[in-house]
Each structure stands twice: as structure tokens, then as C-alpha cells.
């Protein structure tokens, strides 16, 4: 029973949405990275709002997350794919 409650809690806290875009492995991985980025930014914003993080700490953490997301985007080669489709 405890395992089921943990699974339900995780599903509530870490919701994943079905990918609706053009399917290829790179886009799917980037979508997962984008969803994780979004969730983590939400948590950081909530911590800052509650006074647990300073605005500077929040900014720095979000900036680091953005840099990770940018590296992921470039490493997956999505930018090249988008320019080839036009």
C-alpha cells in the first residue's frame, strides 16, 4: 500500500504529458528535458516566493538550468533539423 501511495504522489508531483510534436528520438528526449526544466523552475520560484531562496540564488539556479537545457538542445542537433525543414 505504501508503494502505491508513493507512485501516486510521484505521478502527481512529476506529471508527464504525452508528446504531440513531430516524433523522432531527439525531439522526444528534448521534450522530456524541457518538462524537467519547467518543473524545476517552478520549484525554484516557489522556494523564492516562500523566502527559502534569495532572488539572486533563484536567478543563478534558473540560469544554470537554462544553460543545461541549451546544451541539450545543441547536443541533440535539433537546431539543424529545424533549419533543414524550412
Confidence (pLDDT) at 84: 55
> Per the domain annotation, does 79 fall within a domain?
yes
> Per the domain annotation, does 10 fall within a domain?
no
Confidence (pLDDT) at 86: 43
How do residues 5-52 score in pLDDT, each as one tens digit? Answer: 777 776 666 666 677 778 889 998 999 999 999 999 999 999 999 999
* Of residues 57 and 86, more confidently modeled: 57
6-10, 20-24, 68-72, 75-79: which range is least confident on average? Answer: 6-10
Show the domain range for 39.
Answer: 23-85
Contact 53, 47 (CB under 8 A): yes
> Per the domain annotation, does 31 fall within a domain?
yes
> Per the domain annotation, does 15 fall within a domain?
no
Amino acid at each position: 500500500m505504501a508503494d502505491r501511495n508513493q507512485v501516486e504522489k510521484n505521478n502527481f508531483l512529476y506529471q508527464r504529458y504525452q508528446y504531440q510534436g513531430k516524433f523522432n528520438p531527439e525531439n522526444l528526449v528534448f521534450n522530456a528535458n524541457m518538462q524537467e526544466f519547467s518543473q524545476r523552475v517552478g520549484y525554484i520560484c516557489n522556494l523564492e516566493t516562500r523566502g527559502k531562496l534569495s532572488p539572486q540564488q533563484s536567478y543563478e539556479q534558473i540560469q544554470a538550468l537554462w544553460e543545461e537545457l541549451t546544451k541539450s538542445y545543441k547536443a541533440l542537433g535539433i537546431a539543424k533539423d529545424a533549419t533543414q525543414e524550412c
